[in-house]
Amino acid sequence: QKEVEQNSGPLSVPEGAIASLNCTYSDRGSQSFFWYRQYSGKSPELIMFIYSNGDKEDGRFTAQLNKASQYVSLLIRDSQPSDSATYLCAVKPMNSGYSTLTFGKGTMLLVSP
Amino acid sequence: ETGVTQSPTHLIKTRGQQVTLRCSSQSGHNTVSWYQQALGQGPQFIFQYYREEENGRGNFPPRFSGLQFPNYSSELNVNALELDDSALYLCASSLLRDRLSSDEQFFGPGTRLTVL
């Protein structure tokens, strides 16, 4: 059973702080990693994807991947109340035979003004 | 560029009934994946259609079926509805260059299904 694990939270941070969201995965052969944001009652929205070890930055967001530790994280700098949402980590397993995603349960982020 | 659309937005059914959910993929995309998201859970993969053929299936019973049309839109059919089928059903659109490529998936707004 290929699994993706996330702390359900909530993770509470004050406005302007850095929020750090973490995800571990069990399939060592996983090749692609995605972060989605989901507001309550809405569908997931793709924030970032990362394929290679290291950091990838996009505006206030930085994705970090460490394949040796089977760990991927998302950093949100200068957190805003509008960032309050559930963040879903998704992984595409290697050799799945088709292109699909395995999701974690998500971490709820609360940014207080 | 047109985004992913789904219909209906909400649906209420009773146990034993059948339901059909519809999805139109984003312009330029050729692949549709369906996911079920129960309350408090992450999306669970149901199946994927690529060029009108099923391109993989998750751990869902045969009463979950689907198809994809030449314009890449798709339907999800669920027979003999059970109470546990109550969930948000999400359609995700992507552009696959071959059966195994890994391209980003973009979700539609979802259909909220309630089974009474």
pLDDT digits (tens, 9 = 90+) for A5-29: 999 899 999 999 999 999 999 988 8
Q: Give the model's pLDDT for residue A93.
A: 76
Question: Which residues of chain A neighbour B105 with C-beta distances below 8 Å?
Answer: 34, 46, 101
Q: Does A42 touch chain B (CB under 8 A)?
A: yes
**Is residue A100 scored above 90 in pLDDT?**
no
**Is residue B98 scored above 70 in pLDDT?**
no
Among A92, A99, A105, the residue with its CB nearest the CB of B42 is A105
**Is residue B84 scored above 70 in pLDDT?**
yes
What mean pLDDT do residues A79-107 have?
A: 88
Distance CA B109, CA A43 (A): 5
Q: Does A94 touch chain B (CB under 8 A)?
A: no
Question: Which residues of chain A neighbour B110 with C-beta distances below 8 Å?
Answer: 42-43
Q: Give the model's pLDDT for residue A37.
A: 98
Residue (of A57, A100, A2) closest to B105 by Cα position: A100
pLDDT-derived band at A1, boundaries 50, 70, 90: low
Distance CA B98, CA A13 (A): 42
Distance CA B73, CA B86 (A): 23
Q: Give the best residue of B47, B105, B112, B114 to mutate against chain A (max A CB count within 10 A).
A: B105
Q: Give the model's pLDDT for residue B55.
A: 87
Which tokens is B42 given? Answer: 């992450």
What mean pLDDT do residues B13-42 have?
A: 95
Cα distance from A105 to chain B (closest Cα, Å)? 4
* Weakest-pLDDT range from A86-90, A94-98, A109-113, B24-28: A94-98
pLDDT-derived band at B1, boundaries 50, 70, 90: low
Decide: residue A93, CB within 10 A, 0-12 exposed, 13-18 middle, 19+ buried. Answer: buried
Q: Would you give the DSSP letter of residue A18?
A: P
What mean pLDDT do residues A96-103 have?
A: 76
**Is residue B100 scored above 80 in pLDDT?**
no
pLDDT-derived band at B104, boundaries 50, 70, 90: confident
HSE-CB for A107 with a 13 A CA cutoff: 24
Q: Give the model's pLDDT for residue B95.
A: 85
Q: Is B104's CB within 8 Å of A44's CB?
A: no
